[in-house]
Structure 1
Amino acid sequence: PTCSVERCATVFSYILVAIFFPISIFFCIITVREFNRAVIFRMGRLRKGGQGPGLVFILPCVDSYGLVDLRTRVEIIPSQEMLTKDAVTISVDAVLFYCVKSSTFAVIQISNVHDSTILIAQTTMRNLVGTKTLHELLTSREELSREVGEAVHHATARWGVRVERVEIKDIALPEVLQRSLSSEAEALREARAKVISAEGELDASRALKEASDVMSENQITLQVSNADIYNRNC
C-alpha cells in the first residue's frame, strides 16, 4: 500500500508539472553550489544523495532536500577544566579542523553533525588529558593533538566526517601552580649561576696555584718577579 501511494503521488506530481509547464520548471530545478551537495528525499525516503554541483531536478510536493556544506570547518573546542594523571587541574584551548566527506551519512546518520563533532572532540580531549601527566602535556603538545585527532576521526567517520587535524592553542595552569613553577625556575637559575661562579673561582685558584708552583721551582724567575714588584712600589 505504501508503495502504491508513493507511485500515485509521484505520477500526480508529474502531471502537475506537465500541466503548469513552463512555470512549474522554476519549482523543479534547484541550484547546488560547487561546495554543497543536495540530499533528496521522496516522501520521507532517501532518493538520491550527494547531488550536485549544478542544476538538480526535484518533484514539488513529494520531494524534499537538504544541502550539506563540504568545505573545511574551523571550530574552537570549548575550554573546560580537566584533571591530569598527576591530579593537576588545567584548561586546554584547542582548534578542530574537519570537513564532511559523505553528505548522505551526515544527514541520515545524525541530526546535527557539526554540534555532535564538537561534543565528541570536547569529551575526547578531556579523556586523553586524564591519561597524561602535566609534564607530558607541556612537552608533547603535538602528540596530544595527533591522538585527539585520530580518536575524533574514528568516532565521527560513520557520520561521513573527516577530521583533518587538531591544534592545541594553549594549556592554562592555575595561578598558584604558575607561581610555584616560576619560583622553581628562578631557583634553578640562581643555583646554576652559583655553580658557574664557583667553577670560575675554582679555575682561577687552579691557575694561581700553577703559577705559584712554576715560580717556586724557578728561583731566578721568583727573584726577578720580586724585584719587579719592589720597583713598582718604589
Structure 2
Amino acid sequence: MRTEVRRINTRRDNVPSYCDTGTSCAITIQMPNPEAVGCVERFATFLSFLLVIITFPFSLFECFKVVQEFERAVIFRLGRLRKGGARGPGLFFVLPCIDTYRKVDLRTVSFDVPPQEVLTRDSVTVAVDAVVYYRIKEPLNAVVRVADYSASTRLLAATTLRNVLGMRDLAQLLSDREAISHMMQANLDEATDPWGVEVERVEIKDVRLPVQLQRAMAAEAEADREARAKVIAAEGEIKASKALKEASLVMIDNPMALQLRYLQSLNTISAEKNSTIIFPFPMDFLKTFLPGPSMSHLPV
C-alpha cells in the first residue's frame, strides 16, 4: 500500500495537516476572527443606543463631541479601536458608557532637556542642555503604540544627547553645534517614528565648562594673543626700518630734504607745551672743534 502525504494550508494560518490513509485529503480549519464583534459587545451596543433614545435629547450633550482644528480624537469602543482612523477636526459622535476617546494635539511642542553631565571623547566633563521641538504626525500610533509619547520623547532626548556628545571632542562641541544638533535630530526622529512623533528641530542651548578649565582656556587664549601681538609688532619694526632705509637714500641724494625734515621735527616739538626741548645737533659740526683721536669712538 502506497501512502501519500499531502500538506494542506488553512484559510488564515499555515497549519500543517497530514493524512496517511492512502488517499489525499483536504482539511479546512476555520480560525476565529479577532476583529469579529461578539454577542456581548452587540448587546452592550444595543443597550447604549437604547439609553440614548430614552434620555433624548439630554443624551446629545454626551454623544456629540467637538475637536479643534489642531486636534484629533482617537475613539475606542469597548477597548477596540474604531475603524476610520482619528476623528476631527469638527463634530463626532460617541456612545455613552461604551465609547472612550482621547484627544491628541497636533501642534509643535517644545521642551528643555535637563542639563546633562557629559564626558567628551577627550575626557572633559561638561554640562550641556538643549531644546527639542516635536509634533504628532500619526495620532493613532501616538495613542496605541506608546503609553506616554511625551515622557518617552523626553527621556529619549536626554539619552541621545549624552550619546551624541560623548563621541565628540571639546573643540568640536564648542565649534560644531549645528552639526551636533542635526545629528541629534536625525537620531531622535528615527527612534520616535514608530510612535507617530516627528522631531522637527534640536538646538544646543548652553555648554557649561568647569571653572578650572575656563581659567586654563583663558590663560591659553591670552598667551596666544600676546604671541600674535609680538609677531605683529616685529613685522611692523621690519617695515618701519625698510621705510627709514628708503628715506635715508632719498635724503642722501637731496641734502635739502634732511634740513626740511629737521625743521619739521622742531615744529612738531614746539607745537606741544613742553618745558624741556631736546634740540638735535649734528656731530659733523663738532669735528672741527674737537681733536680727532679723542672723538674717533663717537658715532657720526
- Report the TM-score when normalising by structure 2: 0.71
Q: Deviations over 1:112-134 (max 9, x none)?
A: 10011011111111101011111
Q: Secondary structure at the match of 1:11?
A: helix
Q: Which residue of 1 aligns with 2:170?
A: 134
Residues 214, 45 of structure 1: CA spacing in aligned structure 2 closer, same or farther, 3 A cutoff? same
Q: Which of residues 142, 150, 164 in structure 2 aligns to 1:106? A: 142
Alignment of structure 1 residues 88-167 onto 2, 5 Å: 88-167=124-203
In the aligned structure 1, how far is the partner of 2:100 from the partner of 2:261?
109
Residues 54, 209 of structure 1: CA spacing in aligned structure 2 closer, same or farther, 3 A cutoff? same
Between the aligned residues of both structures, percent identity stands at 52
Q: Deviations over 1:79-138 (max 9, x none)?
A: 110011111111112110110111111111111100110111111111010111111111
- Report the TM-score when normalising by structure 1: 0.90
Q: Which residue of 2 aligns with 1:33?
A: 68
Q: Secondary structure at the match of 1:52?
A: coil
Q: Rg: which structure is higher?
A: 2
Bigger proportion of residues as strand? 1
In the aligned structure 2, how far is the partner of 1:208 from the partner of 1:156?
71
Partners of 1:50 and 1:102 within 8 A in 2: no
Bigger proportion of residues as helix? 1
Q: Deviations over 1:48-102 (max 9, x none)?
A: 4311111110011111111111111011111110011111111112110110111
Q: Which of residues 49, 52, 55 in structure 2 aligns to 1:20? A: 55
Residues 224, 148 of structure 1: CA spacing in aligned structure 2 closer, same or farther, 3 A cutoff? closer
Partners of 1:94 and 1:166 within 8 A in 2: yes
Deviation at 1:224, TM superposition (A): 7.7
Structure with larger RCO (C-alpha < 8 A, sep 6+): 1
Residues 210, 56 of structure 1: CA spacing in aligned structure 2 closer, same or farther, 3 A cutoff? same
Which residue identity does 1:113 align to in structure 2?
Answer: Y
Residues 224, 197 of structure 1: CA spacing in aligned structure 2 closer, same or farther, 3 A cutoff? closer
Q: Which moved more, 1:2-11 or 1:144-153?
A: 2-11
> Does structure 1 residue 168 correspond to structure 2 residue 190?
no
Q: Secondary structure at the match of 2:218?
A: helix
In the aligned structure 1, how far is the partner of 2:248 from the partner of 2:225?
35
Residues 213, 22 of structure 1: CA spacing in aligned structure 2 closer, same or farther, 3 A cutoff? same
In the aligned structure 1, how far is the partner of 2:262 from the partner of 2:108?
82
Q: Which of residues 68, 76, 81 in structure 1 aligns to 2:117? A: 81
Partners of 2:75 and 2:99 within 8 A in 1: yes
Q: Which residue of 2 aligns with 1:208?
A: 244
Deviation at 1:206, TM superposition (A): 2.3
Q: Secondary structure at the match of 2:115?
A: coil
Q: Secondary structure at the match of 2:146?
A: coil
